[in-house]
Amino acid sequence: MNHSEIVEKVNELLTKNNEWEERFADYAAQITKNKTAYIEGAKKFRVNPPLYRYTSVSKVSGKNATFDIRFCGQSVATVHVENEDVKITAKYDNNKKYFGVDIQLDNADWNDPKSSEFRAAFKNLKDGVKVKSPERCDENTLLVEFAKKESINKKLCNIKPVELYDHFFQMPTPLKASNEPIDYAKMGGGIDILARMKRKNKPVDKQSLLCVMELKDENTDKEPPDIVMNQAIAYATFIARLLRSKSGNQWFNLFGFGNDVPKELEIGTVVVMPFCNERNENFENFEEINVAENTFLKLYSLYYQLNEDGSVKEFSGSLVDDTSYPMTLTIHRGTNQIGGCITEISSSRARIIIDMGEELPSEAQKTDIEIEGVTTGEPNCNAVFITHYHGDHVGLYSKILPEIPVYMGKIAKQLYLKLQTRRKDPNIAVIERFKTFRVTYPIKKKDITIRPLRVDHSAFDAYMFLIECDGKKILHTGDFRTHGFGGNLVIPTLTKWVGKVDVLITEGTTLSRPDDTMITEQELQQQAHKLLTDNKYVFAMCSSTNIDRMAAFYNATPRGKYFLCDEYQYNLLKFIAEHPTSPKYKFKKVHSYGENLLEKMRKQGFCMMIRSHSSFKSIIEKFPNHLFIYSMWDGYLSGEAKIESIAEMVPPNFVYLHTSGHATRDAIRKVCETVNPKTIIPIHGKAPRELEKLGLSGEVKILQNGENFEI
């Protein structure tokens, strides 16, 4: 029989034997009626893998909650819950024969020691145990895989098994369809797996699809995919008729759809089998099969391969192509400039933003930016993640709609709070509401998983983000370097936590600058030590939140000399000392400047950290024979990026001692070699095409601001 003939035959049987309509309507009514009792009953006992809790339509529609306990898809016990009593009865003969579990339980209490012994016996079974039905074993494996909530380890995302109140079950049908001829039977065969999937490239109202899956544990000439599809079509035709019956809306909701059956209904009809090159049929050339008015079947294949331990290795087939949603990446700003970075990553279910930066003062033509659902309109974003506290990455935080959570490193948040409090930021309360994360601990936003990885940068407690969804990986480096105090940890971190990625979004700040060899922060500290040894009075100018630079000068200060700063800087360093990530940041002998220290400073000498604030000028004037060290980017002293307050503070005879907080070309090259990206997207730089000159293995993709890139 061809596909259309099967549909015709099933329709004929269902029309002739229409008792199923009342029976399945009663099932739906009873299941709905017993929802609360059933859910509460399930809470009274817990089942842990490798045992799984199943149920059935007939059991859920009963007065009390009854569950099937299965191992490798095979029933090993029944649990009955009535009021507060939880009783278990074991399938003794089968358990002894197939699993060697020689424990009898007949209506025993769930918490009885013998019941605990029974559960432990299955937990301790070795791999490769003999099973009664390999097909049921594979079915259980796939159900567990589909039911995973974390996409980070899920082989096929955007698909979930239909469950009855969070329990696996087999949907019954009134058909005998395993062999031809197909026939009617009041207690017919069950659907192996009923699932919901989301399809790409479909209108929103047609993305969700109910799938009838027919599974076989072998792919042989005797029962190849096209033969198995006949059985799947028979069961899918019944489901189509059921959803068009008077109880259809009720069943549609029980299957997990939050609305009535749509006027135009499509049902996925899927053959699920082991992979075999010789016999695979993807059914891609089959048109939709018309079952009834505005009701169609869409044919799919799903082939699986298992690892030696029985877990899923990979999937292939036409269903995979139709459920693999692209992740979409949009650089709203930052593709051709340093700073002002805003990156969006979205999936079929979630949307996140990385950084909400304001543009640097040097930008000649500043752009006011609004992002629908993020800064304006109705909230439509699951979270904003901030790589670090520099203004060109967090400065526009107050524009984020208040309903959207903002995440930042725990120490970084406190430093930013202290900095903005000093600046009298009117939105301090907003910063206080920032959420924080733990390094390497994943954060789940629907189907997107974000893992923060600490990196070295001139901002303390800075992060890269690994973003995973639907088996795809994106690494957003934020600002980083490998020549700082913690720079030697960047590559090992990527090796341990990241591996190969699909897309690398990398900063390219230094690509537009001369390719000089940058000194390391350790080398800077050594040079500072010599300067501080040779000069009694030293003023060093750097950013108050460049904690690594503070540590370099602190540790370079010779014994017997004072290391000083103003009260604000003193409080920052003491805060860091209370949360040290390395001995370099202990800051035990830091002094807050005061007039009472002047004589001791003159006598013993000092290194004092200063900033471009007029209050420091009077202190500097007290020590005319001083050395002035400028330890910031020299672009602030002249040219288009000049900052007047800084330039005015720096005397003509200063000593320049600085190293960048950004990655060298070699550092970017090493990161690329480590994560081996298919695509490399530069941001945070004025010369993105310089990346193409590094001889990287991945394709360099130059985006424009606002351009969408599908992964």
Q: pLDDT digits over 73-121, tens only?
A: 999 999 999 888 999 999 999 999 999 999 999 999 999 999 999 999 9
Residue 36 CB neighbours (<10 A): 9
Q: Over 90: is that where the pLDDT of 382 sits? A: yes
pLDDT of residue 526: 98
- Among 310, 282, 300, CA closest to 214: 300
Confidence of residue 305 (pLDDT cuts 50, 70, 90): very high
Confidence of residue 237 (pLDDT cuts 50, 70, 90): very high
pLDDT of residue 514: 64
Confidence of residue 320 (pLDDT cuts 50, 70, 90): confident
Q: Over 80: is that where the pLDDT of 62 sits? A: no
Q: Over 80: is that where the pLDDT of 367 sits? A: no
What gap in Å lies between CA 546 and CA 523, rounded to an integer? 16
pLDDT of residue 207: 77
pLDDT of residue 61: 63
Percent of the chain with pLDDT over 70: 96
Per-residue b or e along 412-433, where b marks 16 or more CB atoms closer than 10 Å to that residue's CB: bbbbbbbbbeeeebeeeeebee
Q: Over 90: is that where the pLDDT of 616 sits? A: yes
Is the distance from CB of 702 to CB of 688 less than 8 angstroms? yes
pLDDT of residue 132: 80
Mean pLDDT of 328-344: 94
**Measured CA distances, 248 to 3, 12, 17, 169, 445 (Å):** 24, 19, 18, 19, 33
DSSP string, 150-210: -GGG-SS-SEEE--SSS-EEEEE-SEE-SSSSPEE-SS-PEESEEEEEE-SSS-GGGSEEE
Q: Over 60: is that where the pLDDT of 523 sits? A: yes
Q: pLDDT digits over 500-509, tens only?
A: 999 999 999 9
Q: What contacts 229, CB < 8 A, 6 or more positions away?
A: 3, 214, 269, 271, 281, 283, 299
* Host H or E run for residue 457: none
DSSP string, 566-598: -HHHHHHHHHHHHS-SSGGG--TTEEE--GGGH
DSSP string, 205-260: GGSEEEEEEEE-S---SSS-HHHHHHHHHHHHHHHHHHHTSTTHHHHHHHTT-SSP
Mean pLDDT of 655-668: 95
Least confident stretch, 234-243, 668-677, 688-697: 688-697
Confidence of residue 133 (pLDDT cuts 50, 70, 90): confident
In terms of Cβ atoms closer than 10 Å to its own Cβ (0-12, 13-18, 19+), residue 618 is exposed
- Among 72, 54, 78, 52, CA closest to 125: 72
Is the distance from CB of 54 to CB of 42 less than 8 angstroms? no
pLDDT of residue 465: 98
Structure tokens at 496: 């341990």
Mean pLDDT of 369-376: 94
| AA letter at 65 | A
Helices and strands in the chain, H and E counts: 21, 36
Q: Over 90: is that where the pLDDT of 482 sits? A: yes
Confidence of residue 469 (pLDDT cuts 50, 70, 90): confident
Confidence of residue 697 (pLDDT cuts 50, 70, 90): confident
Instruction: Pick left, alpha or beta for residue 503 (phi over 0 → left; psi -120 to 50 → alpha; otherwise beta).
Output: beta
What gap in Å lies between CA 329 and CA 325, rounded to an integer? 13
Q: What contacts 177, CB < 8 A, 6 or more positions away?
A: 188, 189, 230, 231, 234, 235
Q: Over 60: is that where the pLDDT of 127 sits? A: no
**Measured CA distances, 64 to 61, 79, 562 (Å):** 8, 11, 78
Confidence of residue 437 (pLDDT cuts 50, 70, 90): very high
Q: Which residue has the higher pLDDT, 150 or 127?
A: 150
Confidence of residue 531 (pLDDT cuts 50, 70, 90): very high
pTM of the model: 0.64
Q: Over 80: is that where the pLDDT of 60 sits? A: no
Averaged pLDDT score across all residues of the chain: 92
Is the distance from CB of 341 to CB of 394 less than 8 angstroms? no
pLDDT of residue 366: 65
pLDDT of residue 515: 57
Q: Over 70: is that where the pLDDT of 364 sits? A: no
Q: Which long-range contacts (CB under 8 A, 24 or more apart) does 185-189 make?
A: 186/19, 186/20, 186/23, 189/235
What gap in Å lies between CA 450 and CA 481, rounded to an integer? 21
